[in-house]
Amino acid sequence: MNTSTILAGRVVAIRGAVVDVAFEAGALPAIEDALIIEDIGGMRVLAEVQAHLDPKTVRTIALQATNGLKRGDVVQPVGGPIAVPVGEAVLGRLVDVTGAVGDGREEFQADVPRRPIHRSAPPLSSQRGTSAIFATGVKVIDLLTPLAQGGKAAMFGGAGVGKTVLVMELIHAMVESYQGISVFAGVGERSREGHEMLLDMTNSGVLARTALVYGQMNEPPGARWRVPMTALTIAEYFRDERHQNVLLLMDNVFRFVQAGAEVSGLLGRLPSRVGYQPTLASEVAALQERIASVGDAAITAIEAVYVPADDFTDPAVTTIAAHVDSMVVLSREMAAEGMYPAVDPIASSSILLDPLVVGAVHAETAMEVRRTIEHYRELQDVISLLGVEELSSEDRRIVERARRLQRFLTQPFAVTEAFTGVAGKSVKIEDTIAGCRAILAGECDGWQESSLYMVGSLEEARQKEEAAHKADGTGVAA
C-alpha cells in the first residue's frame, strides 16, 4: 500500500485490547493493516485494523499490552499487514507474533527478509496432491491413521490425555528421518511447556533447523490469534522461495479459535453457536487453506486440538476436523487404562488408509484390527454384567485377541524416558503390520497380555514372554 496517502492518526478510545483511531485527513488504512501506537514516553504498541467505523475512524485490536496508552497518542500506519522476519535467520530462534526475538539473544539484522503475515492461499491450479506416507515410527498412527507428506493431521483430545506428548514424540521421531525445516507454533500454551519444548529441541539437536513462534497464554488475545499466521508465513517462505519441505507443528489450534472468539467479543460482534465467533469457519479456513503442497515442496502440518469437556461435537472441533486428512483421536478411557499413546483406533481415521495408497496388506490389516477391537467393545457390557466365561468360544477368542492388539499398539516414547525409565521405541510399519497379523492369526493366543504391553516389535514381545516363562520355570511359550 502507498503510505504517502495515509497520514498519522490519533487514539480516540481505548477499551482493553480494542483501540479506536481517528485519521483527520487522507485515506483510511485497510482491514488487517498494522498500525504503531506511539506513547510520549517512547512506548510502542502494534495494533491491527479490524473495522472501519466511519469515514475517519478505524477500530483496531492491539497485539501487545495497552497499559499506559491514552487518548491523543500518535498512531503511525505501517502501510500494510504486519511483516515478520523469514529465512535462515529465524532458524534456531524463538520469536513472537510480531517477529521480535524472545530468546534473549541478539536482534535480527536490518537486511533480514520480511514477509506480511496475511496472504491468500495458493490457487488450486498450483497445488498438487500427495500420497507419500509420512512415517512416524508410532505403531498405532502408522497403521490406523497414516499421515500424508504435505497433508494436515490433527491430534484431538481433552485435557491431560497426551496431545502435547504425542506432538513432541513426533518431533523427536522425525529428527533422524526428516531432513527439512521445522516450524513450531505455540498458540496460547503455558510458559512452562514452551520452556520444556525449547530445552528438548536444544538437547536433541534439532533446534538449528527449527523456528519457534510463541504467543503464550498470558499474552493479549490479538497476539494468540495471529501467532499461527506468523508461523505459517515463515513456513511459506521456505516452501515457495527456498523450495524446501517444511514440517509445521501447532500446539494448540483450539487456542487460536478461542483467541478469535475473544477478539470477536471485544469488537462487539454477536456470538454464534455455543458462544463462538460468527466468523469461525472463515477464520479456520484462512489458516488451514494456506497449508498446501506447491510445486516441488510441501508444508506438512501436525496440529494438536484441545477438545473442550471431551465434546467432539463442539463447533470449533468439527470445523477444524473438516480441513484435516488424518484425525488422531485421543481417548480418556484408554488413557485411564494406561494404554499410551491413548489413540482411539475406532474414532481415528485417515484418507490415506486406502489399498491404492498404502497397499492391500496394510489396508486389510488395519480394517481387521479395527473390526476386532470394535467387536470387543460391543461385548464389553455383556462381559461386565455376566463375565467373559458366558461368551461363546468364538467371541472369547476375539476378545482375547483384541486385548492383545490394544496392548501391542502401546509404545514407550523417547520424550517420556526421563519419567518412566523405559527407552523409547520407533517401529517400522512393516514390523507393526507383521505383529498385528500374527496376533490376528492366533500366534500369540497363549501369551501373557503383559508381554505385549509397552514394547516395540513383536520380536521384543516374544523375548519378554520367553523371559517370563523362564522366570516361573514353565518353559518357553509356543
The residue annotated as part of the active site, out of 48, 169, 189, 400, is 189
User: What is the full DSSP assignment across 259-318?
Assistant: HHHHHHHHTTPPP-GGG--TTHHHHHHHHHTT--EETTEEEEEEEEEE-GGG-TT-HHHH
Task: Name which of 183-197, 350-364, 391-405, 439-453 the model is least confident about.
Answer: 183-197
Mean pLDDT, rounded, of the chain: 91
Q: Read off the pLDDT of residues 159-170 as tens digits, 9 standing for 90 and up.
A: 889 988 898 888
- Which 3 state secondary structure label does DSSP give 454? coil
- Which 3 state secondary structure label does DSSP give 411? coil
Nearby residues of 2 by Cβ (< 8 Å), 6 or more positions away: 79
Catalytic residue at 189?
A: yes
Report pLDDT for 365.
Answer: 97
Task: Estimate the share of the chain in helix, then strand, then coil, as percent rounded to the nearest 5.
Answer: 40, 20, 40
35, β-bridge pairs: 47, 77
Judge if pTM exceeds 0.75.
Answer: yes
Could you tell me the sign of the dihedral formed by the alpha carbons of 377, 378, 379, 385, in that order? positive
Q: Which of 288, 254, 269, 266 is nearest to 62 (CA)?
A: 266
Inter-CA distances, 181 with 87, 176, 205, 222, Å = 10, 13, 13, 27
More confident residue, 471 or 392: 392
> Residue 239: is its pLDDT beyond 90?
yes
Q: How many CA atoms lie within 13 A of 426 on its CB side?
A: 14
The residue annotated as part of the active site, out of 128, 190, 273, 470, is 190
Q: How confident is the model at residue 205 (pLDDT cuts 50, 70, 90)?
A: confident
More confident residue, 5 or 360: 360
Report pLDDT for 478.
Answer: 47
Report pLDDT for 407.
Answer: 96
352, β-bridge pairs: none
- One-letter amino acid for residue 136 of the chain: T
- Distance CA(26)–CA(286), nearest Å, equals 30
Q: Number of H helices and number of E strands within the chain?
A: 14, 19
> Residue 4: is its pLDDT beyond 60?
no
- The distance of Cα 194 from the centroid of its chain, to the nearest Å, equals 14
Q: Which of 262, 257, 366, 264 is nearest to 322 (CA)?
A: 257
The residue annotated as part of the active site, out of 59, 139, 152, 163, is 163
- One-letter amino acid for residue 133 of the chain: I
Catalytic residue at 190?
A: yes
Report pLDDT for 312.
Answer: 94
- Distance CA(274)–CA(306), nearest Å, equals 16
- Mean local confidence (pLDDT), 325-350: 95
> Residue 180: is its pLDDT beyond 80?
no
- One-letter amino acid for residue 352 of the chain: L
Q: Read off the pLDDT of residues 79-130 as tens digits, 9 standing for 90 and up.
A: 999 999 999 999 999 999 999 998 888 999 999 999 999 999 999 888 887 7
Catalytic residue at 163?
A: yes
Could you tell me the sign of the dihedral formed by the alpha carbons of 187, 305, 353, 323, in that order? negative
> Residue 186: is its pLDDT beyond 70?
yes
> Residue 276: is its pLDDT beyond 70?
yes
Report pLDDT for 3.
Answer: 46
